[in-house]
Amino acid sequence: MTEPPAWDQGQVPIGNAHDVPNRYTRAREPIPVRARIAWATGDEQLDTLALAWTRHLVLVQLDDRRHQLRGIWLAASDVHRR
């Protein structure tokens, strides 16, 4: 009998992810953005949506099976409006 795959199988670390800030502002409506995701396997530019922000961080939607969460906090310099 084979062992089932680990819950994190296929997960790829993201080098430019930040912890969730204590305080942030939620967007009234999602804002179309282009975000740089620094996967351990290489950088990727992704068209996505900004959902919240602080002065220095932006929460972007991330719907990718390489990451278990549906959003990620990135530095504002890694996110640009489309």
Domain-embedded: residue 12 = no
Q: Please, which pLDDT band fits residue 18 given cuts at 50, 70 and 90?
A: very high
Q: Would you say residue 53 has pLDDT above 70?
A: yes
Domain-embedded: residue 20 = no
**CATH code of 61's domain:** 2.30.30.10
pLDDT at residue number 66:
93
**Dihedral of the alpha carbons of 19, 65, 32, 40, in degrees to the nearest 10:** 60
- The two three-digit tokens of residue 40, written as one number: 């351990």
Domain-embedded: residue 17 = no
Beta strands in the chain (DSSP E): 25-39, 42-53, 57-61, 71-75, 79-81
Domain-embedded: residue 65 = yes
In which domain, by residue range, is 65 found?
25-81
pLDDT at residue number 59:
98
Q: Would you say residue 33 has pLDDT above 60?
A: yes
Q: What is the total count of domains within the chain? A: 1
Domain-embedded: residue 1 = no
* Cα–Cα nearest to 5, from 77, 65, 51: 65
Q: Please, which pLDDT band fits residue 28 given cuts at 50, 70 and 90?
A: very high
d(CA 56, CA 77): 8
pLDDT at residue number 40:
96
Q: Would you say residue 7 has pLDDT above 70?
A: no
